[in-house]
A and B are shown apart, each in its own frame.
Chain A
Amino acid sequence: MSATNAPTEAPRWVTHALVPLINLSLALIISGLLILALGEDPFEAISILAYGAFGYPEAIGYTLYYTTNFIFTGLAVAIAFHCFLFNIGGEGQAYLGGLGAGVVGLAIGHWPAPITLILGILAAAVFGGAWAFIPAYLQAKRGSHIVITTIMFNFIAAALMTYLMVEIFIEPGQQSAESRDFEAGAIMPFVHDILAQLGIDAGHSYLNLSFVLALICCVLFWFFVWRTRWGYEIRSVGQNESAAVYGGIMPSRAIIIAMCISGGLAGLVGVNEIMGVHHRLLLEFTAGYGFVGIAVALMGRNHPFGIFLAALLFGALYQGGQELAFDMPNINRDMVVVIQGLVILFSGALEHMFRGRIEALFIRRAKTAPSAAAAAE
């Protein structure tokens, strides 16, 4: 490599692997100290957590089920961020996405499964995207700040869903605000059922084919962002709006496209939850996935591969954490939330605490290489 190639940049593996790993380790060390303070052995805790996340087929299944949600919301935050928009509304968009999937499930559950499922996926994306369109439009045309509007839209989504569930979708004669169960056509097959047909026993978990959809979305995301004109325009607007205008790119259009895709991706959480797991429409199935998506996107550096890894990490924390709370008497669910919070804090909010210094270290180290090379010439 020529010396002029990367004058002021650290090697990619430092930026993309070493720094996140150090941040993660710090979060785990502090978590370990907390666990120690509670009178439990941190090493035992981490082995329980790891076992709970990956130790047996059902654990892996649940970990990947959570991962699926985090991939959707992580990608949703990332596409908006490529347009320099902070979409805090993943939660509401996921909620509306579930509504879309639910409406399809209730209406045409008796149709053949492939058609119903595909229509359900489309409906979830369209509902989520439409929910994001309104803040996007307000940002693009009226300058209303997207952070504020998307937060507000989370509350509106919650209120709207409560109304719809209580007044319209509730199964008659029932106390809880849940719809009737879907018919067979609207049920996303469980992975353990598919594996069982192949003769593999994977226990029982929530993992369903939405996971495959999430992986497909990762690949499509990469092509969309880096290999299409729309991705190019979205990134241009995100990186340098006046250069984008100079290049004939309309920022308002890019903002609306990016946000609609973002909302659509978040809406797919609804497919995983409603068609994949619950098989009926209900309340509060989003469970904060939309917010965790922000941390996932940050940690994954807005790249689908990084988002996949970060989503897997959070999936493991969710699933292993439950096992931990179950197994260790002094550690309850709230403690698990604290550990998740620490990971988010170090890999998200404190992202730049060490990054600069570590990268500078490698940049300084790199200086000896070219002079040695020059001496050799």
Chain B
Amino acid sequence: MAASDAGRGASPPSGVVPPALEVIGVEKWFGSVHANSNINIRVAPGTIHGIIGENGAGKSTLMSVVYGYYRADSGKIQVNGETVQIKGPEHAIASGIGMVHQHFMLVDTFTVLENIVLGVENGRLLAPNLAAARSELERLERDYNLEVDPDAIVGELPVGVQQRVEILKALYRGADILILDEPTGVLTPQEVGHLFRILAALRKQGKTIILITHKLREIMALTDEVTVMRSGKVVAQVYTSETTREDLAAMMVGRTVLLRVEKSAPNPGEVLLDVEDLSVKDNAGIVRVKNISLQVRAHEILGIAGVAGNGQSELMEALAGILPRQSGHIRIKGEEITGGTARGARNVRAAGVGHVPEDRQHMGLITSFEACESGILGYHRDEKYNGRVLMNHAAIVADVGRQMAEYDVRPPLPRLRTGAFSGGNQQKIVLSREMNRDPDVLLVGQPTRGVDIGAIEFIHRRLVDMRDAGKAVLLVSVELDEILSLSDRIVVMFDGEIVGEVTQDEATEQMLGLMMAGERQTPQESTK
């Protein structure tokens, strides 16, 4: 391995081969936030280099500097030993750096081929370009085992394949260094496996890959070297073979972290949430939830696993009263819930349901509001917040301030704009609002998405506490680890249907992975 002749640690002596990419002394400020502080990283050619860190550790900022979205305040970047000026993505591409974004930059209505050519067409006519691109694309697909139909419409492809289009796009532009930003967030375990095989093949061909992730498992499975970042600084650069998950986690957080959630044996009580034969259409009129029945009991966490986009979001929104149901029943403590949209949301809340929505910035909070205003969303009609005409502003600030302190929101300032808080702290604002009312049923969607490890631990603890206090918790997450460690029972959704149900003890990652890919549970495996 090329990396083996380089030294180790933060400042290794220079080897014979110059590093494919070297970041030297990069500094980046956003306002008063020191997002990158004296960053030094060397990435050996032909290796997979992981960059790991909590949210807000500065990984994405650093990669944006490398790719030219931001200009560093100081420091330099070298590619193959030569200093390069990267003033924009076009410079990065010219230097052989390609990037696969977390959210794909593809035109859904174009074909694969058109997307790949987009932005690098030569001349005025498209046809000769496309022909040349087609043969080049075929070569790339052959070389890297990246089979994609060049004439397929991108929007109709599964996400895993769309991601391959993104990779092809970067390779087509001549990338030797490929940066992947959280590439596995939207993939099934099987698709992740496929992606990893592709990345290994790219490494074999001499490409250098930088993998940004917060998932320790992926780092351990795939990378040669790993750089750990914490609060804007590089805290370690180590060989993957010489470290462990626990060590990495501790370095990321700066202390030892409990990766498993401790919880008592299940002891389910009465049914608090009863869903019977529920069908839901989304706003575009497509049926997203098909005849689902499930029950959540007191003292129980029911996990819903599935690849994003298989109806979990619509199920959650329907249960929360926001999306009107097509047919079927939702009963909370035996009472049928009526109404859709705003009125439905109000009724559900009044019935004693807390709802932590999947997308806190889109739904759970109003980022331009002060934290104290976001902290009462949905409860702003409560008597304690209202006088005869005016709202009781002092009471709101005091109450939300108390909630924030209790949930360790930092900084604990109720008058600060909601958007100024980090992702984890925003999530804690939502959680504190929804849990503080002591709901009997808690609907939780992606509770730890974009949340740092320290906060994840805290949030998981709170969810288990809810369950132990006799509440019913419905958890939707695309993070299998989270589902596996928290849920007492797990159902898997695929294409709007429940394809299987297992208890926590029976569940394995492989079994869930197959069901998430649409394979139905066979009757013998069934728990009933």
Binding site for B on A (CB under 8 A): 2-9, 223, 227-229, 232-233, 235-236, 239-240, 242-251, 363-364, 366-367, 369-371
Contact = CB atoms under 8 A, between A and B. Distances in A.
B143 to A, nearest CB: 43
B458 interface: no
Contacts of A244: 342, 366
Nearest to B373: A232
Nearest to A371: B34
B390 interface: yes
B33 interface: yes
B112 to A, nearest CB: 32
B363 interface: yes
A6 B420 contact: yes
Nearest to A254: B342
A325 B420 CA distance: 49
Interface of B: 29-34, 320, 322, 341-343, 345-346, 349, 355, 357, 362-369, 373, 377-378, 380-381, 386, 389-391, 393, 410-411, 413, 416-417, 420
Given A7-B33, A366-B31, A223 B390 contact: yes
Given A232-B373, A246-B357, A247-B377, A227 B391 contact: yes
B393 A243 contact: no
Contact of B390 (A228, A236, A247): A228
B341 A7 contact: no
Contacts of B30: 7-8, 363
Chain A contact residues: over half helix, strand or loop, or mixed?
Answer: helix
B413 A5 contact: yes
A239 B32 contact: no
Given A7-B30, A243-B366, 12 more contacts: A6-B32, A7-B32, A8-B30, A8-B31, A229-B380, A240-B363, A242-B363, A246-B355, A248-B381, A250-B342, A250-B343, A363-B31
Contacts of B381: 229, 248
B391 A246 contact: no
Contacts of A245: 322, 341-342, 345
B368 A246 contact: no
A235 B31 contact: no
Contacts of A366: 31-32
Given A243-B362, A367-B29, A249 B369 contact: no
A315 B357 CA distance: 48
Contact of A240 (B320, B342, B362): B362
Contacts of B386: 229
A220 B169 CA distance: 57
A252 B342 CA distance: 10
A170 B291 CA distance: 68
20 contacts: A2-B411, A4-B411, A5-B416, A7-B30, A227-B390, A229-B380, A229-B381, A236-B377, A243-B365, A243-B377, A244-B366, A246-B355, A247-B377, A247-B378, A248-B342, A248-B345, A248-B381, A250-B341, A250-B342, A367-B32
